[in-house]
């Protein structure tokens, strides 16, 4: 895949936004889960940049964090993140951006409901991957709290899920305008890039 200057700038922008979104509310933690704005940013990356560039921006973000930059939640970074119970969410951002973008790319002229389906499919992937990874990480790697169970993990995720549903709905109302504006005025065309 060849990169145009606008592609490089866009990928870098969304990678940077992920770092900001990870820590804009870093002081809020529920159970073992920091409250972040990353899911909606990953959705926006897939919808606006397309499946490949959206996923690539998430990969760049992940590697920037793994090499030690404090861009993960709670200003953390480094290879120790690999054994963190929340690393599954970081992995899920790559998949959710790709799937969100791919669903939209399959439509020649996507409508609001296509963006809705794509965005919430991405959010479902985020929670299934991240929450299950967290459960097994606590079972096998991390020190689980007393009374730890699969139900407890999903209970931790209840409030973040409400927040992410609200932000995803807000994003869905904005994504179509941004998407179609970019298609008309620039060469930032996800469907062409995916070809």
Find the CATH number of the domain harbouring 21: 1.10.1760.20
Task: Express as a percent the part of the chain with pLDDT over 70.
Answer: 90
- The overall average pLDDT reported for the chain is 90
Check whether 121 has a pLDDT greater than 90.
yes
Which structural domain range is residue 63 located in? 5-194
pLDDT at site 127: 98
Q: What is the mean pLDDT of residues 96-108?
A: 96
pLDDT at site 195: 41
pLDDT at site 108: 84
Q: What is the 3-state secondary structure (H, E, C) of the chain?
A: CCCCHHHHHHHHHHHHHHHHHHHCCCCCEECCEECCCHHHHHHHHHHHHCHHHHHHHHHHHHHHHHCCCCCEHHHECCHHHHHCCCHHHHHHHHHHHHHHHHHHHCCCCCCHHHHHHHHHHHHHHHHHHHHHHHHHHHHHCCCCCCCCCHHHHHHHCHHHHHHHHHHHHHHHHHHHHHHHHHHHHCCCCHHHHHC
Query: Domain tally for the chain?
Result: 1
pLDDT at site 194: 46
pLDDT at site 188: 46
Q: What is the mean pLDDT of residues 61-69?
A: 98
pTM summary value: 0.87
């Amino acid at each position: 895949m060849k990169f145009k200057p606008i592609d490089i700038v866009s990928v870098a922008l969304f990678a940077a936004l992920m770092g900001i979104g990870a820590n804009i509310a870093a002081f809020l933690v529920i159970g073992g889960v920091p409250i972040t704005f990353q899911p909606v940013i990953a959705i926006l990356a897939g919808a606006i940049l397309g499946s490949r560039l959206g996923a690539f921006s998430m990969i760049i973000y992940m590697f920037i964090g793994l090499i030690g930059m404090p861009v993960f939640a709670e200003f953390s970074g480094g290879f120790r993140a690999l054994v963190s119970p929340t690393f599954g969410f970081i992995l899920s951002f790559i998949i959710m951006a790709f799937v969100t973008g791919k669903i939209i790319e399959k439509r020649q002229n996507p409508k609001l409901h296509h963006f809705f389906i794509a965005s919430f499919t991405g959010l479902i992937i985020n929670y299934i991957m991240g929450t299950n990874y967290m459960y097994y990480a606590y079972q096998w790697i991390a020190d689980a709290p007393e009374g730890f169970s699969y139900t407890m993990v999903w209970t931790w995720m209840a409030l973040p899920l409400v927040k992410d549903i609200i932000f995803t709905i807000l994003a869905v109302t904005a994504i179509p305008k941004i998407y179609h504006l970019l298609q008309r005025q620039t060469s930032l065309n996800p469907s062409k890039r995916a070809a």
